[in-house]
Amino acid sequence: MALHTLLDLELSVPDPDALVGFWTGLGMERTDDATLGTADRPSQLRLAESTYRHVSELRLGCTDEADLVAIRDGLAALGVASTMGDGVLRCADPLADHDVVVEVAGAPPLTAPPPREINRPGSPARVNRRSSGAVRPTPAPPRRVGHVVFGSTDVARSVAFYRDGLGFKLSDTIDGGIGTFLRCSTDHHNLLLMPAPVPCMNHYAVEMDDVDAIGLAGMRVVTEQPESAVYGIGRHVLGANLFWYLLDPQGGMFELFADMDQITDDEAWEADEYRDDWDPFTIASWEPGPSKPDFFLPADIEQLAEAREAAGR
């Protein structure tokens, strides 16, 4: 795979400082005034000021200069202009409000968390000790930004841009492509494209160590802002990841996730016996109840559309 990593996102919002305080409160580290990172990856969320909430840049990693050339040619075949130099390619998403930057960069490793001792029926691994999940004084910190979901006015054209132009791989689709899951790493998805009346960010997703890390961090959020809960906790069918969807202080939906499917062999994934054994309209294999409507489309979509128009988008 030429692409190998989602390096980071730039989020543009009316009050970037509000997001700095929010995410540092959940354990992200402040790299500089406008950049938040994690212990392994110092840049995960870059924050900028804007009159409306949107992703303004998506930054990806690839292996070498030959990958950049292939991406440049793939984009040109779609009629998408790009610039390239010094190991970096830059282009604009033709339907959305953000640039895409592809850099020749190593895949930043993640430090594995300490192994959890789980007591299973007939196979206890933890005896005479309390579970770390029960006695953690604070939530385990976020590990990385793993994926982003965009609403598009033309999903098929957006899929062509990311798959045929940039080199993302297809993992799964919903109802013939209305929802399309794409990957630029071994994660089941780093990108999901779905319909929307105007281009928008549906949500961004932050990986946590496990279900306890999700639960503890999510409870901290809803304790301070009960109305911020959107959907979860649960486990998805596509991607299989545990999830909890919440709203950040700027009204953006984010997902705390863990335990996502990993794809290292395309043929094995296509042949997996469970791959097609699902209802395409089943979002989760288990969850506590229906999601709020803004799980599918931001509740302030009309205001976002007006702000985009006023900004000349």
Spell out a b/e string for 274-283, using b for 16 or more CB atoms within 10 Å of the CB, else e: eeeeeeeeeb
Q: Is residue 130 part of a domain?
A: no
Q: Is residue 61 part of a domain?
A: yes
Contacts 24+ apart (CB under 8 A), 309-313: 310/51, 311/50, 311/51, 311/52, 313/97, 313/199
HSE value, Cβ hemisphere, 13 Å, CA-based, for 267: 0
Share of the chain above pLDDT 90, in %: 86
Q: Is the pLDDT of residue 213 over 70?
A: yes
Tell me if the pTM is above 0.85.
yes
Domain housing 100: 3-108+141-298
Query: Which pLDDT does position 305 carry in this prediction?
Result: 96
Q: Is residue 195 part of a domain?
A: yes
Q: Is residue 117 part of a domain?
A: no
How confident is the model over 236-249, as pLDDT tens digits? 999 999 999 999 99
Angle at alpha carbon of residue 299, lines to 160 and 251, rounded to 5°? 90
CATH number of 71's domain: 3.10.180.10
Q: Is the pLDDT of residue 1 over 60?
A: no
Instruction: Name residues whose C-beta falls within 8 Å of residue 281's C-beta, 6 or more positions apart in sequence.
Output: 174, 175
Distance CA(75)–CA(91), nearest Å, equals 9
How confident is the model over 87-118, as pLDDT tens digits? 999 999 999 999 999 999 988 899 999 888 89
Q: Is the pLDDT of residue 281 over 80?
A: no
Q: Is residue 246 part of a domain?
A: yes
How large is the average pLDDT for residues 24-28?
A: 96
Q: Is residue 121 part of a domain?
A: no
Q: Are 3 and 62 contacting, i.e. CB atoms less than 8 angstroms apart?
A: yes
Count structural domains, the chain. 1
